[in-house]
Amino acid sequence: MADEQRISLNTLITHILDSYLEFEFIAPKVGFAPMQKSVLKDLFEAVPDEEKIKQIAIKAADDLIDSILIIYGKVDLDSVLSLISSRVRRSGFTLREFENGKSQEMTRVTRKLVMQHDVGYHWSLFSKTHIERLINNAGYAAKIEMTENSLIIEILERGEETGADSRGQLRTQF
């Protein structure tokens, strides 16, 4: 495995231990549970009500605030993106991250993520709503486009529409 990643064995062991301590150790304690992709797809495709899927995604994102605090000690954009990245990668999905740029509307984009999941339209809808709410809860706005099996997430530069005040502090109480 170290050869595949072109890193030393010591570096690989350090990465594994860091990953375990950062996520795997605490994840079950804050309610995360592994699930087969096929089961996840079947569950989401069995729910035809798109508004219900969005409501569940928003509630799940809001409920996740306490877990982010326990895992990272703070709720900010970096901790939210770290959690998203950890969960996406551990689910076997593909995630690529790009920094800085402009959206088609010429809005300043601080980061861009592309996620590919192969779980279907309803999972895309859930993930789009969930991730957008998580990013909003961190004080940023996001523009998210989706297809049946992927998301393009653009995190926009902080502004008044993001829910943050002039000092960058969230107006939301949690």
Q: How high is the pLDDT of residue 164?
A: 45
pLDDT of residue 171: 37
The pLDDT assigned to 20 comes to 62
What's the pLDDT score for residue 168?
39
Per-residue model confidence as pLDDT tens digits over 118-169: 999 999 999 999 999 999 999 999 999 999 999 999 999 876 454 444 333 3
| pLDDT score, position 102 | 59
Q: Annotate 3-32 with b (16+ C-beta within 10 A) or e (fewer).
A: eeeeeeeeeeeeeeeeeeeebeeebeeeeb
Query: pLDDT digits over 7-34, tens only?
Result: 787 887 876 776 665 666 666 667 766 7
CB 95 within 8 A of CB 89: yes
Q: Which residue has the higher pLDDT, 74 or 18?
A: 74
Q: Residue range 87-113: average pLDDT?
A: 79
Given this model, what pLDDT does residue 162 score?
43
Domains and CATH numbers, the chain: 1-33 (no CATH), 35-162 (3.30.1380.20)
**pLDDT digits 0-9 by tens, 29-70:** 677 667 788 898 999 999 889 999 999 999 999 999 998 998
Residue 105 is which amino acid? E
Q: Which two tokens stand for residue 126?
A: 């859930």
Is the pLDDT confidence value at 92 over 90?
A: no
